[in-house]
Amino acid sequence: MAAHSTDPAALDPTEFRHEVASFLIEALSDGSACPAFGAILPPEHHDKARAWQQTLSEAGFGGLHWPTDHGGGGLSTEHSAIWYEECARHRVAPYLNLQGIVLAGEAIIRSGTDDQKQRFLPATQRGEILWCQLFSEPGAGSDLAGLASSAVEQADGGYLLNGQKVWSSNAQFAEFGILLARTDPEAPRHQGISFFLLDMNLPGIEVRPIKQMTGDEEFCEVFFDDVAVPPDALLGQPGQGWKVAMDVLLDERGAFGSAGVISLEQELDALATLGRGREMDAVVTDELSRLVAQGQSLKALLQRLGSAPHAAPAAKLLRTEMSTETNRLAAAMHGASGMLESEQTDRLLYSPGMRIAGGSSEIQRNIIGERVLGLPREPR
Ligand SMILES: Cc1cc2nc3c(=O)[nH]c(=O)nc-3n(C[C@H](O)[C@H](O)[C@H](O)COP(=O)(O)OP(=O)(O)OC[C@H]3O[C@@H](n4cnc5c(N)ncnc54)[C@H](O)[C@@H]3O)c2cc1C
């Protein structure tokens, strides 16, 4: 497959869209494309997704808007958005996993030293490093600043890590994880947290997959028992990890952008097709029309707000709530026989998790109320 133009800045967006579409069509026909899978890489796509990221890298589509001197494509965020939209339209995975290309990659670009950028970015965009996100703990999810995993600084500048994480997607396959741990228990809670790039093969790390209601094991518990973390694993300054993490969460919520709307439209189109030519319950017709209208509003909202950071919680909230409702409606329209068909059942069982992952719907509503609309703060 041909690499895209060597002068990224000169790439006309319309031409770029054509270029992406032909690349994806070719990849679908030769079988190299990894099917789309949403926010978490399912174990059965693991090998295919790794090979796909390698192909993307060779074709110039890995880490599209990362800086060119660190293995990226040097393109604009507009080009990136086109890439995500076309991947959604063709139902192809845009990357190996979100946790690596979006979360870890962007954090390293923003806060990494030159050595960290050189060490991690090219290898990540080639698919040689699979990342996981080690933020949530049994006692710290929505209230992430309540995290208790501790990293105590040692004489050599490294840290001794102890504690537990949970819901860590893809941790059983990951070579590295982005980790939050408390390095100063005396500091105010948001100021004593540091951000690490953790080698998942260090002695003292135990990963236990958790079985979900879909039957898959996509996320894990991760235990740290006296893990010796080297000094160069720290990303940014000690005690300044909260700010790095907040930007990562914004990236995570923003990832549910216009590409998500395209896949939602595809789901709603499929339901409309199913509904045509058969007797429809008036309540189901109402519900389908409401969801289609809401999908158009979401699209308009995203176009108006563009990549403004405050669009991210709204996009995440609307997309995941609509997805849950769309899958419930699909189950109602397919009826009992639909529940025997695995793809439909999987979607129905999977979608409630997306309302929680990356910050629950209730938390997105709080953020929109407090930070976007300026309403009084929730009682803490
Ligand atoms: C599919 C999936 C994948 C995930 N992957 C990862 C991952 O890779 N890495 C990672 O670190 N984490 C991951 N998570 C964890 C996720 O970030 C947390 O589950 C989420 O932040 C919620 O935290 P919690 O589960 O502790 O629930 P809690 O915070 O205990 O919340 C329980 C309920 O209370 C509500 N609630 C809590 N506080 C408030 C409030 N102030 N106002 C109103 N309602 C409130 C919540 O909305 C929720 O309904 C994943 C979760 C899921 C479901």
User: Is residue 353 within 6 Å of ligand 1 at its C-beta?
Assistant: yes
Q: Is residue 279 annotated as a catalytic residue, yes or no?
A: no
User: Is residue 303 within 6 Å of ligand 1 at its C-beta?
Assistant: no
Kindly report the average pLDDT of the chain as a whole number.
90
At 228-240, the pLDDT tens digits run 999 999 999 999 9
Three-state SS for 234? strand
Per-residue pLDDT for 1 more than 50?
A: no
CATH 1.20.140.10 in the chain is located at: 256-372
At 74-83, the pLDDT tens digits run 888 889 889 9
What is the pLDDT, as a whole number, of residue 318?
Answer: 87
Per-residue pLDDT for 160 more than 50?
A: yes
- Span 131-239: which CATH code? 2.40.110.10
pTM, 2 dp: 0.92
Own/partner contacts of 284-287, CB < 8 Å, gap of 24 or more, are 284/329, 284/332, 284/333, 287/325, 287/329
DSSP 75: -
Task: Name the packing angle between helices 311-338 and 342-354 (round to 10°).
Answer: 150
Per-residue pLDDT for 157 more than 50?
A: yes
- Residues 218 and 236: their CA atoms lie apart, in Å, by 29
Residue nearest to atom 16 of ligand 1 (CA): 357
Mean pLDDT (whole number) for 89-118: 95
Of these ranges, 140-149, 262-271, 365-374, the one predicted with the greatest mean pLDDT is 140-149
Mean pLDDT (whole number) for 80-100: 93
| Bridge partners for 132 per DSSP | 177
Q: Which of 168, 106, 102 lies closest to 137, judged by CA?
A: 168
CATH 2.40.110.10 in the chain is located at: 131-239
DSSP string, 37-56: -TTS--GGGHHHHHHHHHHH
Give the burial string for 234-263 (b: 16+ CB within 10 Å, else e): bbbebbbbbbbbeebbbbbbbbbbbbbbbb
- Span 256-372: which CATH code? 1.20.140.10
Task: Please give the distance, rounded to the nearest whole angstrom, from the Cα atom of residue 360 to the centre of ligand 1.
Answer: 5
Mean pLDDT (whole number) for 181-202: 97
User: Is residue 370 within 6 Å of ligand 1 at its C-beta?
Assistant: no
Mean pLDDT (whole number) for 363-367: 92
Q: Which of 178, 147, 176, 174 lies closest to 163, judged by CA?
A: 147
Per-residue pLDDT for 306 more than 70?
A: no
Per-residue pLDDT for 24 more than 70?
A: yes
